[in-house]
A and B are shown apart, each in its own frame.
Chain A
């Protein structure tokens, strides 16, 4: 077996996966605290874009049969100072000097047959409690496994997507395996613990939830080339000894769930139907059995797409991660149709019953049932060669809501926007109306009118048709005006405007700047207007293939308002992105 090891080369190991350092990502003002893995083509495209359209490097394919070992790693370091005022209800930040480090590692061994053994890991470390609330470091992801054409096995963070009614194992730390037998049978199993983080699992931080021991299984069987049958079974049990009783608002519970269904796909038709039964029990209480049904179908043609479905989940229906909402009965149909080259239409009709709603009419938290009938439509219109780049969008949505206590309400939304997108300029104006009528519960009613406008431009300097421009710049101005009227008759106004600017000089320098202000007037007579100001500046200098240093300034806060509305967040910092 031949093993090639390379770090940081474009040649025989393939282009290294970039973490958080693709130049377009750097250009954004957002903190580079995310891990970005991309395939070679994506990375090459990003490189070419950031290099101003320069020559694209070529990958050298490995032509022997050796196992490749790839390692991709990197670190993003931030050092910054916050100057903050205002209470905890206004800002999560606190004054002080902080550091933040994001570290990631991705180690893979790829066999000639394509089987891959992998170990992926990422970690954040900081002393800033507005980033990590109760501890100095957090494991963001930890996955170790092996995957081939017929199998997949992994340990750590697992996310097995089981079915619509069974949900997924998202949030589970444990083991997961998938295995294909023959041409049409797939078995998936998972076992582990549901917990918000690795740190809570280890009790490195105080637990906020019970540790939930869980398992899940799925069997899929293909019939023909279009139909698959599947059965899932899962269960969980909260461990009541894993949290202090003074922190436990909820009683520990256990549940089990079995679902069965089929999916069909042929000639543009996709259909899935599933039925489920669950048992949920709080410790020391009676068990609740419940059932659920889900049918979904989509049908795609050349110029149209249709969808429809029926969901019905019992009030006590319980799935493993709780992704299947209980107490819902919903029937819907909808579709989109490109009626002409200049006209696209969307329609959605829906009847939904929520059996775990809170009674609005009585103004209390009494359990109630609410039925909502909704019609939503959208129209998109373009004007072709006569007015290239110009578009008109219209939307309407009307809902009638009836509560089991006899009350009712009505929601109406209407919107229109005109947009223009040219080679140098973009612009748009829009209007939206959101109105809720409720005679019995006026505190839940009101009307919001919104006007929006934006204007943007892209500029290039120092280039011609054969060479990329030396400088590129873009600028965008936005404005919003809102009028509110509550069901109780009070009125207030809101408005905001903003300016965003981006300047880039080849691969040498990137500057981003934003400025915005927002106003909200008080609905109370004589009340103060809350005025918020936000601005930020970020200057980055890329170096090497994927590295950069960035300096930034962020400012956000209220500059007028009552004493209990005033806060200020100022941040000055430097960031280093380095790929090892």
Chain B
């Protein structure tokens, strides 16, 4: 990493040093790169490159309009405000349609928002919280995440060109799942039999808003592996329980996770097919201490 950074800095220095020798040829440059070349705006003039926050308000406004349209379930407006050539365009729309069907009175709140604007490209980084009532029973729910949104300026204004991070607009389009346990620290209690504890496992994954159940895996340090079925309690929220027993032997697949001794650490694993950030399918692992 250090060598790479040194090389890059050296290249930067070289580029900067060469600048004066080429300044005189500036007038010969063509005015703009081909439209649609998906490149950074051309190095064709100071004003265009530096006065780039002139569009910040429009960027924020375009994003706000998208959020309001999503909250209102206005699919047509959303469709008109994303680039039809966006990678994953159809998956995005399929997710929006599912949300319109499954969530009611959606409210998205942005926080920690940062906007960096260029002449024709803008990057919005923001945390978000999405609150809603589930269509099935009007139970309240909440999703949260961090998004990086790439926006391009076109003939009709700013439009979303790409998403990274967690997608706030479309369940199924990529949000990192969350695993939690209650209690956070497991304390087996001795009774008639060996020390035993029950732990409740919850997975929140907005990508699975239309799924009724999922399976996680619990693993002990000695190698016991148990599948735990979690059932949906509201869109994207799944809960189930696991019994942990401290004893000298274990049987994989018997529904009880056996530990030889405490203290120890068990792992809860969940395969997130769409973990956000457009990251490939990834295994999420939550470690839980056992006292």
Contact with B50, one of A108, A182, A183, A374 (Cβ below 8 angstroms): A108
**C-alpha spacing A115/B1, complex, angstroms:** 33
Produce 1/0 per residue, A288-307, CB < 8 A to B: 10100010101000000001
Nearest chain-B residue to A18 (Cβ)?
Answer: B57
* Residue in B19, B113, B277 whose CB lies within 8 Å of A322: B277
CB <8 Å contact, B162 and A167: yes
Chain A residues with CB under 8 A of B125:
170-171, 196-197
Residues from chain B with a CB closer than 8 A to the CB of A138 are 112, 114
CB nearest to B19 among chain A residues: A151
Closest chain A residue, CB of each to CB of B64:
A30
Residues in chain A near residue B49, CB distance under 8 A: 147, 152
Whether A130 touches B111, Cβ cut-off 8 Å, given contacts A34-B56, A152-B49, A171-B123, is yes
Check B54–A42 contact: CB distance below 8 A. yes
The contact string, 1 if C-beta is below 8 Å from chain A, for chain B 188-212, is 0000000000000000010110111
B245 to chain A minimum Cβ distance, whole angstroms, is: 24
A387 lies within 8 A of chain B by Cβ: no
Nearest B residue to A226, CB-CB: B34
Contact segment of A59-67, A262-270, A461-469: A262-270
A-B contact count (CB 8 A): 427
Task: Give the complex CA separation of A389 and B275 in angstroms.
Answer: 48
What's the least CB distance linking B53 to chain A, in Å? 4
Interface residues in A144-169 by Cβ distance below 8 A to B read 145, 147-153, 157-164, 167-168
Please judge, given known A-B contacts A325-B278, A358-B273, A444-B98, whether A522 and B137 are in contact too, CB under 8 Å.
Answer: yes
Scoring B residues 238 to 252 as 1 if CB is less than 8 Å from chain A, else 0, what string do you get? 000000000000000
B62: CB under 8 A from chain A?
Answer: no
Interface size class of A (residues with CB under 8 A): 35 or more
Across-interface contacts of A552 in B (CB, < 8 A): none
In the complex the two chains form, is B75's CB within 8 Å of A413's CB? yes
Tell whether A330 is near chain B: CB-to-CB under 8 Å.
Answer: yes
Which candidate, A2-10, A362-370, A501-509, A535-543, is the interface stretch facing chain B? A362-370
| A115 to B: closest C-beta gap in Å | 6
A415, B277: Cβ atoms closer than 8 Å: no
For B285, the chain A residues whose CB sits under 8 A away are 249, 251
Cβ–Cβ contact B100 & A434, under 8 A: yes
A559 CB → nearest B CB, Å: 13
B135–A150 touching, CB < 8 Å: no
A527 and B138 contact, Cβ closer than 8 Å, known pairs A131-B111, A163-B39 = yes
Report B185 CB to chain A, min CB distance, Å: 11
The one of A170, A327, A482, A520 in contact with B116, judged by C-beta atoms closer than 8 angstroms, is A170
Instruction: Check if A181 is an interface residue, CB within 8 A of chain B.
Output: yes
Task: Mark each residue of chain A from 510 to 540: 1 if its CB lies under 8 Å from any CB of chain B, else 0.
Answer: 0000000010101110011010100000000
Q: Which residues of B contact A296 (CB under 8 A)?
A: 36, 38, 85
Check A365 against B114 for contact (C-beta < 8 Å): no
User: How far apart sit A157 and B97, CA to CA, in the bound complex (Å)?
Assistant: 34
B8, B22, B282: the one contacting A282 at CB < 8 Å is B282
A74 CB–B CB distance under 8 Å:
no
Say whether A316 faces chain B, with CB atoms less than 8 Å apart: yes
Of the stretches A76-84, A213-221, A419-427, the one at the interface is: A213-221
Q: Is the CB of A264 within 8 A of B34?
A: yes
Given A150-B29, A159-B123, A167:B133 Cβ within 8 A: no
Main secondary structure of the interface of B (DSSP, over half): mixed
Interchain CB contact under 8 A, B19 and A150 = yes
Of B9-17, B218-226, B253-261, the one touching chain A: B9-17
Give the contact stretch, choosing among A50-58, A185-193, A570-578.
A185-193
The one of B19, B122, B280 in contact with A317, judged by C-beta atoms closer than 8 angstroms, is B280
**Is B178 interfacial (CB-CB < 8 Å)?**
yes
Are A218 and B39 touching (Cβ within 8 A)? yes
Q: How far is the CB of B271 from chain A (nearest CB, A)?
A: 7
* Among A170, A215, A327: residue with most chain B CB under 10 A: A170
Are A230 and B39 within 8 A (Cβ)?
yes
Whole-angstrom distance between the Cβ of B162 and the nearest chain A Cβ: 4
- Per-position 1/0 for B17-57, Cβ under 8 A of A: 01100110111111001111111111111110111011011
**In the bound complex, CA of A313 to CA of B86 (Å):** 13
Chain A residue, CB-CB nearest to B48: A147
Asked whether, in the complex, the Cβ of B273 is within 8 Å of the Cβ of A356, the reply is yes
Question: What residues of chain B lie closer than 8 Å to A350, measured between beta carbons?
Answer: 89-90
B284: CB under 8 A from chain A?
Answer: yes
Interface size on B, residues (CB 8 A): 125
Q: Tell me the bound Cα distance from A354 to B90 in angstroms.
A: 9
Q: Which residues of A contact B53 (CB under 8 A)?
A: 35-37, 106, 120
**B121 and A159 contacting across the interface, CB-CB below 8 Å:** yes
A183 near B98 (CB under 8 angstroms)?
Answer: no
A272 within 8 A of B: yes
| Residue in chain A with minimal CB distance to B278 | A322
| Of B15, B148, B174, B211, the contact of A179 (CB 8 Å cutoff) | B15
Bound-complex Cα distance A399 to B45 (A): 45
Is A241's CB within 8 Å of the partner chain B? no
Q: List A contacts of B131 (CB < 8 A).
A: 89-92
Interchain CA distance A327-B91 in the complex, whole Å: 11
Q: For the complex, what is the distance from the CA of A147 to the CA of B42, rounded to whole Å?
A: 12
A378 and chain B: residue at smallest CB distance: B76
Q: Is the CB of A326 within 8 A of B278?
A: yes
Interface flag for B66 (CB, 8 Å): no
A179 to B19, CA, bound (A): 7
Contact partner, B12, options A132, A153, A182, Cβ 8 Å: A153
Asked if A309 meets B114 with Cβ closer than 8 Å, knowing A115-B46, A218-B39, A282-B282, the reply is no
Question: Which residues from chain B contact A150 at a C-beta distance below 8 Å?
Answer: 19, 22-23, 25-26, 29, 43
Q: Tell whether A315 is near chain B: CB-to-CB under 8 Å.
A: yes
Per-position binary interface string of chain B over residues 61-84, scored 1 when its CB falls under 8 Å from any chain A CB and 0 otherwise: 000100000001101100100001
A460 contacts B by Cβ under 8 Å: no
A183-B30, A323-B150, A564-B139 are contacts. A315–B46 as well, Cβ < 8 Å? Answer: no
Which B133-190 residues sit within 8 Å CB-CB of chain A?
133, 135-142, 146, 148, 150, 162-165, 172, 174, 176-179
Q: Given A163-B38, A263-B37, list of 10 further CB < 8 A pairs?
A: A108-B50, A170-B123, A191-B12, A263-B33, A322-B277, A323-B164, A325-B163, A348-B84, A444-B98, A482-B73
> Which 3 pairs across A and B sit closest by C-beta, in order of nearness?
A265-B34, A170-B123, A325-B88
A-B contact pairs, 13 of them (CB 8 A): A42-B54, A150-B19, A150-B26, A168-B121, A213-B1, A249-B177, A270-B37, A309-B85, A358-B211, A364-B213, A365-B205, A432-B75, A522-B137
Partner-A contacts on B (CB < 8 A): 1, 4-5, 8-9, 11-12, 15-16, 18-19, 22-23, 25-30, 33-47, 49-51, 53-54, 56-57, 60, 64, 72-73, 75-76, 79, 84-85, 87-91, 94, 97-98, 100-102, 104-105, 109, 111-116, 118, 121-123, 125, 127, 129, 131, 133, 135-142, 146, 148, 150, 162-165, 172, 174, 176-179, 205, 207-208, 210-215, 271, 273-287
